[in-house]
Amino acid sequence: MRVLVTGHKGFIGSVMVPFLQARDVDVVGMDTDYFRDCTFLGTLSTIPEIACDIRDVSPSHLAGFDAVIHLAALSNDPLGDFDPQLTYDINHHATVRLARFARDAGVSRFLFSSSCSNYGASGDGLLDESAPFNPVTPYGISKVRAEGDLLDLASDEFSPVLLRSATAYGVSPRLRCDIVLNNLTAWAVATGKVLIKSDGTPWRPIVHVEDICSAFAAALDAPREAVHAQAFNVARQEENYRIRDLAEIVQSSVPGATVEFAGDAGPDARNYRVDASKIQAKLPGFTPRWTARDGARQLYEAFTQAAITVEDFEGWRFRRIGQIKRLMDCELLGSDLRWTA
């Protein structure tokens, strides 16, 4: 099977590629590589690649593929808030254009990396895939809009699959520390304090980056009737936590750490728990193995090995909005987030 992975040099993509290669998938990447300066421990796999902004994809780029795994996006809320229209252009319009080209090229399966952020401000009840959307950020809105238009492209020959991942965590060659468990653990290792930036009450489902890869692999291998034009919450049923509970897990995983609330900590409108029973029932190939406690230990060991600093994870290296602003300040990216040279 020949698969195009967009965003193959990102936080998830740099783990996804070797995960698929280990399953004898012929992988080709596509990435504009905003985060080329942000490599953490390890190296990225060397594969054939198309150096391309997804806004500039042409029909010829999609020829000869059996499936597309579409990860490329402006990822997370601060980056989405930076310029909402760019977020919609990249995460919504460019996604649908890519999928249309894929369908026209005879690609049979299009796996879209969506998000449980679609549920947004949804309270304390468990949400399955039929729950109403209530996104509160441009990032969440962009994913909701893309989902709807992708489903409109479904046909007898073309199967869009919507994989709504919970908040990711874990170690990756292209590390991110602007996601909750990674950030809490980084603060604990660098300062001895588990810094909570909200009031600690919001619910979040979380999922390890390797388990996200397992979900995509399962959706790639599943019979068409199991996944065609369907959405799946990518999570483990028992891995819904309040932020304060995650902080306590980190505290118990990092020797000597204490929990502390930021001076401006307050409520967070994003609050949701998800029901993950559908993916575990319909995709038996999905075999999640990570828990928050295991992930906190993995992060502790990696951050200790790397001697991570506050500047690393609150500056530009491992914070997506930090790197984008740095590239713009250096005039390497224009206001449209295209490379200037």
Strands 230-234 and 67-70: unpaired
Choice between 183 and 270, residue whose per-residue pLDDT is larger: 183
CATH number of the CATH domain containing 61: 3.40.50.720
Mean pLDDT of 157-177: 97
Taken in order 49, 141, 158, 237, the sign of the CA dihedral is positive
In a domain, 338, yes or no: no
In a domain, 334, yes or no: no
> What is residue 270's predicted lDDT score, i.e. its pLDDT?
79
Question: Which segments within the chain are labelled E, that is strand?
Answer: 2-6, 26-31, 49-51, 67-70, 109-115, 121-127, 159-165, 167-169, 193-198, 203-208, 230-234, 240-242, 258-266, 271-274
In a domain, 77, yes or no: yes
Chain segment 59-112, per-residue pLDDT in tens: 999 999 999 999 999 986 677 677 899 999 999 999 999 999 999 999 999 999
pLDDT-wise least confident of 7-16, 121-130, 186-195, 299-308 = 121-130
In the chain, how many domains are there? 1
Closest CA to 324 of 35, 59, 96, 93: 35
In a domain, 286, yes or no: yes
In a domain, 335, yes or no: no
Contacts of 171 (CB under 8 A, 6+ apart): 40, 41, 209, 298, 299, 302
Categorize the per-residue pLDDT at 154 as very low, low, confident or very high, splitting at 50, 70 and 90: very high
Chain segment 219-241, per-residue pLDDT in tens: 999 999 999 999 999 999 899 99
In a domain, 339, yes or no: no
Cβ 86 vs Cβ 239: under 8 Å: no
Mean pLDDT of 323-333: 95
In a domain, 337, yes or no: no
Mean pLDDT of 311-327: 93
Cβ 129 vs Cβ 233: under 8 Å: yes
* Predicted TM-score of the model (pTM): 0.95
Is the pLDDT at 304 greater than 80, yes or no?
Answer: yes
What DSSP designation does 245 have? H
Is the pLDDT at 200 greater than 90, yes or no?
Answer: no
Categorize the per-residue pLDDT at 153 as very low, low, confident or very high, splitting at 50, 70 and 90: very high
In a domain, 180, yes or no: yes
Q: What is the rounded distance in angstroms from the CA atom of residue 3 to the CA atom of residue 15?
A: 15
Range of the domain at 50: 2-329
